[in-house]
Structure 1
Amino acid sequence: MQLTADATRDLDVFMARLAEDVSACARLADHFRDEDFAHEAQALAAAWGLAAPGLTERLTRRGVVPRAVAPAAGWLPVAVSPGEDAVDWAFFGARRLEESFFGESVPKVWSAPLNRLLRLRTPLSALEGLAGPVPDGLVFHMSRCGSTLLGRMLGAPEGATVLSEAAPIDHVVRGDLPPDRKVALLRGVVAALGRARGAGDERLFLKLDCWHARFFDLFREAFPRTRWLHLYRAPAEVMVSHARSPGMQMVPQVVAPAVFGLAQPATPDADYQAAVLAAIGEAMLAAFAADGEGLLVNYETLPGAAAGRVLPHFGWAPDALESEAMTAAAAIDAKAPERAFRPDGAAKRAEVDPAIRAACAARLDDLHARLEAAGGPSTSSG
């Protein structure tokens, strides 16, 4: 359908007004069929004195709607592109981030008609100086060591939000940006992701990517008073997990070896994987020695250590309902929530092969012992 100039203007005016009206966006966000969305949107436009024809056709175009400033709370950044000076936003409204990873939450809203109609994009400057909460805690980890379990426990109570390995945070952390601007943008992207929007607004935790251990100083400068912890596990068990299915940090083409202070490997074998894990652990040991706000937690002490050590460390004394929600979360397989949790340590130890054993002996066993020695008293998992 070819729109007249007046009709095009009305549609553009409608989209601009809609982008500013969180309650109107919330009214439309629950419509996932294009026909239902267009009908409701046209009714809304009429109430605003606008015709706004061609909504269904506009949904197929997926054009970017540029803005100079960040949209209101309810809109979350889903991608930060330093090379393009761009931040892409999606409307979540008051939807809780209930998935184990932020990257699993985004598709739940990204393809909805509202987010196809309004592909909001701002410059990076929209994030700088944005008001929002400071995290209540940072969760660093060596990977495959219970961080997703802990993240789901921390995010189980209605008043809490866990930003779990959120790509926009990593885009800033690994972006080619001057250090001072990187700090400002890190604060801004966390503020944008954590702003009060009627969903988990009481507490905010960041469950970071494992390689963010190597950027500890950046997080400390951005959030100088936030307490943090590092989760680790028996190295051979972590190595077996990556042998079964390598994480992206073990793929040099995805996460560059330079992130870990390593050279490009001839092949990402067990020794390279152990070197990656060693770089993470050494960074955390150094941070723990230099910073008084850290806690080292062994996977074997979960889930008991959550109540015994983690929550007190983060200054959280949960009420009965919050404790009940966390206990229920601990009973579920963190990466397959449709299944009950089953311990897998014995099965992984049975799969340790000579290459893994040698790599652990060369790079990880002594590090694990030093983490254990530095971590102090533990809490049983019972």
Structure 2
Amino acid sequence: MSSFSSAYRALITSPDVLKTCQSFRGLPDLLCYLKDWFQVPSVSDQDLLGKLNLHNQQVLDVSHEQLRGYWLPCRYDSGQRRLHWCLPLGPATEPFQDETISRYRQQSLVNLVLQPKTSLDALLSAEPPSGSCLPCGFIFHLSRCGSTLLSGCAVQLDAVQILSESPLLTEVLLDVGLTPVQQQQLLRQLVDLQAAPFPGRPHLVIKWNAWDILRWDVIQKAFPRVPAVLLVRNPAEILAAHQKMAGRHMSGDPRMSTFDPVFAPIAGFLDFRMTVLHRLMSAMYEVLSNQNNQAQLVDYAQLNAGTIAQQLQRWVGPIEAPGLERIARRLQVNAKHPDQVFVPDVKQKQGAFADEQRALIDHRLMPVYESLHRIQSWFPTLN
């Protein structure tokens, strides 16, 4: 191994040195420090960046336990079976995890010049760490039905950290090259690695993507007995929201069809989206039908300060007055755009379709939507 490669490896696995690197506010100062570290004082900035980029593309031969707690796995490349890492800058506060990762990359000079990668196979062969971080609650949803609002309220509590639609977890579940047992193992390991940098926030809540409900068995076996909330909404309102901006599962993304045949596009976007939504609601019905599942149904129409606080208390225990006040303030702003005031749009969404389309939506989707509410009343979730 070359001296530069050895120094690169030592740098990536040295928390104190990385902390020093994070302290520099200008790229020239950071590069000057790195030249001393690599003992190449006469090399140009461009050549140093080139050497670093070359090593960033290689698989780093270190154990994941050596990176745990200060590096954060941020992306999984299924084609090359590699994990990408970055240094976190505080816990997630953005509506979605990919926005948090973008903040880490944009606001840290170190993340611009150091982008280590490790092998997924090495993680699969590793023993899980002792004292792994475990989630206290799950949010499943049909999309556009208040999940981002609920997760945004959760992160208002000082002891809570949120993984909101983590791209890392999604790519593991979408990878058809992994067996269900491997997916279960990786979910446990990757959840732990993403939560470990924030020990001051011991309560971890995970908001899954809408389609992840189709892998309930894999998730449940990875994390048994984690209480979950299943968020639903009037189907016409959900479909109206996707007319304005379609989510990945409603857009006809060809890769999604390998995850589940329901995502294979069919003629007519409305028919396709109704088919997808019916499949997701049916999967929720199956989850609720099993009384052993720690799952509770909540409708978008029921979301308010009281019901949200009640749900969060189910996961983290009593909430003190300052936390309740922050939740109340969070309800006043747009869930996906916190810099904007929340404007109710239920009536607008209810009127988004022509009478014939609305009749078709109600005919195909309202029976299963109503059955979700009925089964919840038959099998109330244990507190």
Shorter-chain TM range is 0.7 to 0.9
Match in the other structure for 2:80? 84
How do residues 126-205 of structure 1 correspond to structure 2 at under 5 angstroms? 126-128=122-124, 129-131=127-129, 132-175=132-175, 176-198=177-199, 201-205=201-205
How do residues 62-77 of structure 1 correspond to structure 2 at under 5 angstroms? 62-63=53-54, 64=56, 65=58, 66-70=60-64, 71-77=67-73
Q: CA deviation at 1:236?
A: 0.8
- Partner Cα distance (1:165, 1:98) in 2: 13
Amino acid at match of 1:68: V
Match in the other structure for 2:100? 105
How do residues 136-285 of structure 1 correspond to structure 2 at under 5 angstroms? 136-175=136-175, 176-198=177-199, 201-257=201-257, 259-262=259-262, 264-285=264-285
| Shift in alpha-carbon separation, 1:349–1:32, aligned structure 2, 3 A | farther
- Partner Cα distance (2:44, 2:324) in 1: 46
Q: CA deviation at 1:80?
A: 1.4
Q: Which runs of 5+ in 2 are unaligned?
A: 379-383
How do residues 341-356 of structure 1 correspond to structure 2 at under 5 angstroms? 341-354=342-355, 356=357
Deviations 1:265-317 (A, max 9, x none): 33351111011111111101111111330010001111235445412432522
Instruction: With the length of structure 2 as denominator, give the TM-score of the two structures.
Output: 0.87
Secondary structure, counterpart of 1:59 in structure 2: helix
- Partner Cα distance (2:325, 2:29) in 1: 39
How do residues 276-315 of structure 1 correspond to structure 2 at under 5 angstroms? 276-290=276-290, 291-307=292-308, 309-315=310-316
1:59 and 2:52 correspond = no
Secondary structure, counterpart of 1:26 in structure 2: helix
Deviations 1:213-264 (A, max 9, x none): 1000011000012111110111111111111111111122255245444273
Amino acid at match of 1:106: I
Q: CA deviation at 1:347?
A: 1.4
Q: Is the 8 A contact 1:76 1:192 kept in 2?
A: yes
Match in the other structure for 2:322? 321
Instruction: With the length of structure 1 as denominator, give the TM-score of the two structures.
Output: 0.87
- Partner Cα distance (1:98, 1:315) in 2: 18
Amino acid at match of 1:246: A
| Shift in alpha-carbon separation, 1:91–1:356, aligned structure 2, 3 A | farther
Deviations 1:157-181 (A, max 9, x none): 2221110111100111111212211
- Partner Cα distance (2:321, 2:34) in 1: 43
RMSD of equivalent CA atoms: 2.5
Please point out which of 99, 113, 117 is paired with 1:117.
Answer: 113
- Partner Cα distance (2:15, 2:344) in 1: 44
Instruction: Count residues in correspondence.
Output: 364
Q: Is the 8 A contact 1:127 1:192 kept in 2?
A: no
Q: CA deviation at 1:127?
A: 3.4
| Shift in alpha-carbon separation, 1:196–1:107, aligned structure 2, 3 A | closer
| Shift in alpha-carbon separation, 1:118–1:293, aligned structure 2, 3 A | same
Amino acid at match of 1:180: V
Deviations 1:122-161 (A, max 9, x none): 1114434343211111100000111001011111222211
Match in the other structure for 1:380? none
- Partner Cα distance (2:316, 2:110) in 1: 39
